Amino acid sequence: MRYVFAILHAHQFAALMVAEKGLGAMVSRSADGEMIVPSLTLSGCAPVRGSSGQGVANRGGRTALRNLIGHVISGYPACLTVDGPRGPRGRVHKGIGDLSRQSDAVVLATVVVPTRRWIVSKAWDRMQIPRPFSTIHLHFSEPLKCGSDESLEEYRRRIQATLAGLESVVDPEEYQYSEPRLPGMNENVSFAKESSVAGSWANRTGDIAARAGTDRYQKVA
């Protein structure tokens, strides 16, 4: 099964610490993106420069998206910071839906929560940085896939609502800082709360391991 992880921009540094080789990650051309590329490369991930948000034509996003689609089709998972690079926090952009549909991959809404962390409270996304020797918990939704009669906008809103519902369950302290009145943010959140945590995995900071439900993610044969 092909799959794509949908994470918040605030969680990218924590997610990097549990990323495995082969994971494709679209990285913005912003200053934040520049900081994370060397670490991605060292961990064996495949950084693809661009943006999944607004102005994709001007920032190489379309080319990056095509490259990431090819990466997923070849059998590797991918990860997108779905509200980046400029937010607002929790507002899912359309790139994740395009990637999922064109690569025939499911989306796993994913919330990353370190047990001990620093929060950059003045940043738009409230970036979180795991403290040394903390444990990083990854929480996953059920697999999401675009329905045959579902538009990309409807799919985007469903991913957004699922991710919001998941964060509201596993990290309510930070969830309160997401945009609460965005279209689609709160619809179906009550349903998402009931079934959002389909799988969880905990890792010590520095361990290169991650898990989606019961399947360790790796190249699909």
Write down the pLDDT at residue 48: 84
Q: How confident is the model at residue 11 (pLDDT cuts 50, 70, 90)?
A: very high
Write down the pLDDT at residue 49: 75
Contact 22, 78 (CB under 8 A): no
**How are beta strands 24-27 and 211-212 bridged, if at all?**
unpaired
pTM of the model: 0.79
Measure the CA–CA gap between 165 and 175, rounded to whole angstroms: 9
Torsion of CA 44, 53, 103, 213, to 10 degrees: 60
Measure the CA–CA gap between 26 and 39, rounded to whole angstroms: 14
Write down the pLDDT at residue 32: 66
Among 18-22, 86-90, 179-183, 211-215, top mean pLDDT goes to 86-90
- Average pLDDT of the residues in 93-122: 95
Write down the pLDDT at residue 85: 83
Write down the pLDDT at residue 181: 47
